Structure 1
Amino acid sequence: MFTGTALFDLLLPGDSRSLKDKRGYLRPILALLRKYEVSAAEVGDQDRHGRAQLGVAIVAADAAHVREVLDHCERAVAGRPEIELLSVKRRVIGDDDF
């Protein structure tokens, strides 16, 4: 069994001046990520209007599959023209890592 996580640090457009505006940008991104059958949520910077941190987690039997899905998620977030992807922190852990 392998688990994979990714933490996306995002810069949102300047017009996201309220938490309602922020949610308007994040909701479709989270919906897109969930199409890859991962758990996805806003996990940081909830009270900052122009920034967001999204977390993604996956569990699979094969490490290659975990990496492939995280790659797809990263490309999906990076491809969103309305936001800027500042950084991504990824981690894959297997049974031997515990």
Structure 2
Amino acid sequence: MIVGLMTVELHIGGATTLKEKRRVLKSIIDRVRSRYNVSIAEVDHQDLWQRATLGVAVVSNETGHVSQMLDTVIRTIEGNGGADLVSYHTEIL
């Protein structure tokens, strides 16, 4: 069993309230979850209205598939207009 983990740091420049931040994150999370069947959730900075950290997990039996899935997820998050990608870190176990 191969497990891929990724943390994604986002800056949500247009958010002026936590409600706006959560609207943007919900859109990203729902899109990624439905398209790629991965586990994704906000894991840090819940009380800051312009910063977010998402955690993504993928399980497969092939390292190449896990790597490809994480690359596809990060491209989808980058393509979202509501948040700017600050950084990301991947780890394959």
TM-score, structure 2 length as denominator? 0.94
In 2, the alpha carbon distance for the partners of 1:31 and 1:25 equals 10
In 1, the alpha carbon distance for the partners of 2:80 and 2:48 equals 20
Structure 1's unaligned 5+ residue stretches are: 94-98
Give per-residue Cα distances to partners, 1:21-76, cap 9 Å, x unaligned.
11111001001111201000000110001000011001100000000100100000
The one-letter code sitting in structure 1 at the alignment partner of 2:73 is: C
Q: Which structure has the larger Rg?
A: 1
Q: Does residue 80 of structure 1 match 2:80?
A: yes
Q: Taking every aligned residue pair, what percent have the same amino acid on both sides?
A: 37
SS in 2 for 1:22: helix
Please report the RMSD computed on the Cα atoms of aligned residues, expressed in angstroms: 0.8
SS in 2 for 1:49: coil
Deviant stretches of 4+, over 3 Å: none
Matches within 5 A, 1:48-87: 48-87=48-87
Structure 2's unaligned 5+ residue stretches are: none
In 2, the alpha carbon distance for the partners of 1:81 and 1:39 equals 21
Q: Does residue 29 of structure 1 match 2:28?
A: yes
Q: What is the aligned length?
A: 92
In 1, the alpha carbon distance for the partners of 2:68 and 2:61 equals 13
SS in 1 for 2:42: strand
Which residue in 2 is equivalent to 1:96? none
SS in 1 for 2:36: coil
